[in-house]
Amino acid sequence: MASFLQDNQDRFLTELVDWLRIPSVSADPKFHNDILKAAEYLKARLEEVGLENVELCQTAGNPIVYGEKIVDPSLPTVLVYGHYDVQPADPLELWTSGPFEPVIKDEKIYARGACDDKGQVYMHVKAFEVMMQHGGLPCNVKVMVEGEEEIGSNNLGIFVRENKEKLKADVILISDTGMIANDTPSIEVGLRGLSYHEVEVTGPNRDLHSGLYGGAVANPINVLCKMIASLHDENNHITIPGFYDKVDVLSDADRAELNRVPHSDEEFKQSIGLPATYGEEGYTTVERIGIRPTLDVNGIWGGYTGEGAKTVIASKAFAKISMRLVPHQTSEEITALFQQHFASIAPAGVTVQVRPHHGGEPVVTPTDSVAYQAAAKAIETTYGKKPVPTRGGGSIPIVAMFKSELGIDTVLLGFGLDSDAIHSPNEHFGVFNFLKGIETIPLFYQNYAQDFNK
Ligand code: BES
Ligand code: MN
Ligand code: MN
């Protein structure tokens, strides 16, 4: 197997690079054709490595690529999930090479989607090839790769509810997360939920001269800033009434355990050019990211932002505000609390609209399962070190739904690094990580099939 991987690694990389060239951005309708092309490309590659019943499942939005290989119905079934859609590439001027003109430089593949998530999905495609060439799959697999993860997975949610029989499996396997470092392997065992909103503050019925009217009317931008500022108190606690009511409070022992993960605040600050960390009083960086909910403004606009100056009071101000949720908050409850609170703090003189976007539920995945142990053992073999379980800060909304709708737990077998700059300019994925993934995944299947009935 090792020599097969070595002999074929250039081809594996070339195939991935060809896929990365297709700008499958889901947020912007102008890329719709490329979305379809990226789905078709994956379908062809899955067929090539020997998966069966490979199809594009149509949805109200982007198609889902599905394939399977049922080797023996009495064996366990692994359902692999990933996404072929990518985040928008802007700001383009900050990329050192084109986001959709992949280059391999310093042992890293640079392109939008290199790590999140086409590169990680492609490890699975090539792991299937490796297994097929070396005695076949040790258990059944189903593969489902969607094209709307970065915009909330709404249509996948519907697809999952409508295809429970088709998606029947014993475990979900996902490579769409990261590790602490290449010399500190880890497995994420938690994902945060999400509640995302756009808010609109309206003042006067038209933009006004700021001299003729200024001081006598509510300025929507001033008001919006004040409202946003009031959402955290001086200890960086979120001030929305009831926001923390359901938050799972960890025991001192569990917190101590969590804080044993290798983490250096010095390196953390240095890696993103910060003089100091910042966050909720009373919690460490690891806790702030892993087990505490947050509220962040993702964008804010209004008024005049062009060259020079314009003395104006804008009629409207806008912001995109998201909250990351932890067990046992629900996006529905938090969305209602946010809507209520945000409307209630609007002063007289403006009107406020809150428009919820997508949501997602937090999850914690088990570590005492056969599947988790199979993944941990596989990583220990290929990295030479036992992986540490970590609570990640990101969100993959479908994971909670796999549990609630299908009753299936997930293993997050991710090979990215925080430094891969996912969602940022110059996203990349280490060639080392890509190849380690292809090497580790077949061992997961072996371990899982072997230990399943024990
Ligand atoms: N793969 C990421 C999530 C992620 C990355 C989790 C690294 C853990 C470690 C995923 O593609 C993503 O970006 N999710 C979005 C949520 C979605 C609803 C837009 C996120 O976390 O913002
Ligand atoms: Mn992803
Ligand atoms: Mn993403």
List, for residues 109-141, the tens digit of each pLDDT value: 999 999 999 999 999 999 999 999 999 999 999
Fold of 2-191+362-451: Aminopeptidase (3.40.630)
Mean model confidence pLDDT for the chain: 97
CA 69 / ligand 2 centre spacing (Å): 24
What is the per-residue pLDDT for 453?
85
What is the per-residue pLDDT for 361?
97
Could you say which ligand is closest to the alpha carbon of residue 153?
1
Q: What is the pLDDT of residues 136-158, one digit of tens each?
A: 999 999 999 999 999 999 999 99
What is the per-residue pLDDT for 257?
95
What is the per-residue pLDDT for 151?
92
Q: Where are the domains of the chain?
A: 2-191+362-451, 194-247+293-360
Atom of ligand 1 at shortest range from CA of 192? 21
Residue type, 14: T
Instruction: Give residues with Cβ within 8 angstroms of 76, minimum separation 6.
Output: 139, 140, 170, 171, 448, 449, 452
The structure tokens listed for 383 are 């990295």
CA 317 / ligand 2 centre spacing (Å): 31
User: Atom 15 in ligand 1: which residue has the minimum CA distance?
Assistant: 395
What is the Cα–Cα distance from 321 to 318, expressed in whole angstroms? 10
From 26, 118, 176, the mutation candidate for ligand 1 (largest count of ligand atoms within 8 A of CB) is: 176
What is the Cα–Cα distance from 143 to 13, expressed in whole angstroms? 21
User: Atom 9 in ligand 1: which residue has the minimum CA distance?
Assistant: 177
What is the per-residue pLDDT for 248?
97
Ligand 3 is an ion; its neighbours by CB within 5 Å are 116
Instruction: Tell me if 320 sits within 8 A of 198, measured CB to CB.
Output: yes
Q: What is the pLDDT of residues 57-70, one digit of tens each?
A: 999 999 999 999 99
CATH architecture of the domain formed by 194-247+293-360: 2-Layer Sandwich (3.30)
What is the per-residue pLDDT for 1?
80
User: Atom 7 in ligand 1: which residue has the minimum CA distance?
Assistant: 177
What is the Cα–Cα distance from 104 to 298, expressed in whole angstroms? 31
Of the chain, the percentage scoring pLDDT greater than 70 comes to: 100
End-to-end Cα distance, the chain: 26
Instruction: Tell me if 418 sits within 8 A of 177, measured CB to CB.
Output: no
CA 426 / ligand 1 centre spacing (Å): 17
From 189, 395, 410, the mutation candidate for ligand 1 (largest count of ligand atoms within 8 A of CB) is: 395
CA 395 / ligand 1 centre spacing (Å): 5
pLDDT at 448 over 90: yes
pLDDT at 94 over 90: yes
Pocket of ligand 1 (CB under 6 A): 116-117, 149-150, 152, 176-178, 188, 191, 194, 358, 360, 392, 394-397
What is the per-residue pLDDT for 2?
84
pLDDT-derived band at 358, boundaries 50, 70, 90: confident
pLDDT-derived band at 314, boundaries 50, 70, 90: very high
Instruction: Give residues with Cβ within 8 angstroms of 12, minimum separation 6.
Output: 122, 126, 434, 435, 438
Q: How many angstroms separate the Cα of 279 from the Cα of each of 112, 142, 248, 282?
A: 29, 41, 18, 9
CA 175 / ligand 1 centre spacing (Å): 11
Helix residue ranges per DSSP H, 265-397: 265-271, 285-290, 331-344, 370-383
Atom of ligand 1 at shortest range from CA of 393? 8
User: Atom 1 in ligand 1: which residue has the minimum CA distance?
Assistant: 176
Could you say which ligand is closest to the alpha carbon of residue 88?
3
Instruction: Give residues with Cβ within 8 angstroms of 65, minimum separation 6.
Output: 39, 42, 43, 46, 54, 55, 56, 57, 84, 143, 144, 145, 146, 147
The average pLDDT across 354-376 equals 96
pLDDT at 196 over 90: yes
CA 83 / ligand 2 centre spacing (Å): 7
pLDDT-derived band at 297, boundaries 50, 70, 90: very high
pLDDT-derived band at 408, boundaries 50, 70, 90: very high
Could you say which ligand is closest to the alpha carbon of residue 150?
1
User: Atom 6 in ligand 1: which residue has the minimum CA distance?
Assistant: 394
pLDDT at 454 over 80: no
Instruction: Tell me if 418 sits within 8 A of 272, measured CB to CB.
Output: no
Atom of ligand 1 at shortest range from CA of 116? 1
